Amino acid sequence: MTMIKNQKDFWAGILFLAFGLAGGYLAQEYPFGTTTRMGPGYFPTVLSGLLALIGAVCAVRALVGDRIHIDAISLKKTLYVSAPVFVFGLIVKGAGLVPATMLVILASAMASSRFNLKHAVAISLGMSLFCWAVFSLGLGLPMPAFGPWLIKE
């Protein structure tokens, strides 16, 4: 008899914990700084620590409470959510932030059993414009709304 009562929470917690520990390990290469003079390693270290903490709490909580069992993992839905993230990294420089973000949101939305193309397009357009406004206009990151693949200079 296994001690894990909620497999979903347990494995989600282990995944969060693993990513948090990996991020903390990779952030060690950068100077940490102090709270008042943060170095480049400060934010990733703190964020990784919080992610690892959330993962540990989630995994420990899965050991108590109601028993929930995972029957099967849907490979199709997993690919609909994870593959667009990799594609985003490949096309954002050439296509621009708005089309790349729209592609990620549209492709990820197809994993839902309640997928509606009209709603997905509206949400992806709004979120893409929001991301462009925050990252390009607000934070000043050099990410154009539309890249050289779509706009010829």
**67 lies in some domain:** no
C-alpha to C-alpha distances, 25 to 45, 65, 147, nearest whole angstrom: 8, 32, 34
Residue 1 is predicted with a pLDDT of 47
First to last CA, the chain: 66
Residues 134 and 79 in one domain: yes
Residues 79 and 134 in one domain: yes
**124 lies in some domain:** yes
Token pair, residue 98, equals: 């708005």
Residue 94 is predicted with a pLDDT of 94
CA dihedral 9, 83, 105, 108 (to 10 degrees): -50
Per-residue pLDDT of the chain (153 residues; tens, 9 = 90+): 468 888 888 989 999 999 999 999 999 999 888 888 888 888 899 999 999 999 999 999 888 876 766 677 788 888 988 999 999 999 999 999 999 999 999 999 988 889 999 999 999 999 999 999 998 998 888 889 999 998 876
Which H or E run contains 26? helix 7-27
Structurally, the chain folds into a number of domains equal to 2
What's the helix, strand, coil split of the chain in %, to 5?
65, 5, 35
Residues 132 and 87 in one domain: yes
Residue 22 is predicted with a pLDDT of 95
Residues 80 and 128 in one domain: yes
Range of the domain at 25: 7-61
Residues 131 and 79 in one domain: yes
Residue 64 is predicted with a pLDDT of 83
Over the Cα atoms of the chain, what is R_g?
Answer: 20
**106 lies in some domain:** yes
C-alpha to C-alpha distances, 131 to 87, 94, 108, 124, nearest whole angstrom: 17, 17, 17, 10
**90 lies in some domain:** yes
Residue 148 is predicted with a pLDDT of 92
Q: Is pTM beyond 0.95 here?
A: no
